Amino acid sequence: MLNLRLRALAPQSPSLLLSLGAPDRHAPDATLSVVHLTEPQLLALIESGEGKTLEFKQGLQHAPKLARTLTAFANTRGGILLIGVGDHGELLGAPHPPETLRALERLAHDYITPPLTPELSITLAESRRIVVCSVPLSPARPHTVLHDDGTHEIVVRVGSSNRVASGRALAELTAPRTSSRAATELELAALAWVEQRVAANVPATPIAFAEECHAGKQRARSTFMALERAGKLIGHGVGAARTYRPV
């Protein structure tokens, strides 16, 4: 049974019982323009190493190659690209950080369809400036990468690599995401809680929700993931530091 705190968060009006159907794939990506990571958070992220939701780059590369990483993140689980970090986590510093930010904004718009709007920031790590580029699991997926020869491809994240989507992965990405299932009481409570946290400028994480509403950490994570995949929440970051906001 849900506790009183969680029940108070869940909307009571039947008109608020939302359907977890497919979002409008043509709606603009309304992500915030800045992602905030403290130096300890950034160092911990780098220490965790590259993986499905994290990639390091020393500097800017050929635009379509970077666009593949952003697209794979958006199509799979979201993720963070760090510019100014070596393959083994060396803190090198991003070359010309302001220009790097602008270049990432341009390539996310010019080389990806539908365009992405990643969250970007410059964070200091041991006096080195690191460009942080966070991409959520996109409600407008699948996104495609445009190559210089005019061809497009749909890519996904497999481990720490970007791969062309095929077989089951491609079928899941391109299939209509529709469901007549109404949101559960826990899902409605989570949506209301996230809205309150964002309005108060406080990070909204599944762990914080579980602790405040006594919902169980694994149950909270599963609920937030279901809402994210249904296009009702946008998530940024990786692991326990992953934060959410309403779409």
| pLDDT tens digit sequence for 102-116 | 999 999 999 999 999
d(Cα 169, Cα 60) in Å, to the nearest integer? 28
| pLDDT tens digit sequence for 58-74 | 998 888 999 999 999 99
| pLDDT tens digit sequence for 46-61 | 999 999 999 999 998 8
Inform me whether the pLDDT recorded for 240 exceeds 60. Answer: yes
- When the pLDDT of each residue in the chain is averaged and rounded to a whole number, the result is 84
Please give the pLDDT value at position 18. Answer: 44
Inform me whether the pLDDT recorded for 32 exceeds 80. Answer: no
| pLDDT tens digit sequence for 214-229 | 889 999 999 998 898 8
**What CATH fold (topology level) applies to the domain 39-174?**
3.30.950
Inform me whether the pLDDT recorded for 31 exceeds 60. Answer: no
**Delimiting residues of CATH 1.10.10 domain(s) in the chain:** 4-21+179-246
**Delimiting residues of CATH 3.30.950.30 domain(s) in the chain:** 39-174
Task: Report the sign of the C-alpha dihedral through residues 228, 233, 236, 238, in that order.
Answer: negative
Burial profile 143-154: b = 16 or more Cβ within 10 angstroms, e = fewer: bbbbbeeeeeeb
d(Cα 114, Cα 213) in Å, to the nearest integer? 37
d(Cα 129, Cα 121) in Å, to the nearest integer? 10
Assign domain 4-21+179-246 to a CATH class.
mainly alpha
Inform me whether the pLDDT recorded for 237 exceeds 90. Answer: no
Please give the pLDDT value at position 232. Answer: 87
Beta-carbon contacts of 31 under 8 Å, excluding residues fewer than 6 positions away, are 117, 118, 119, 136, 234, 236
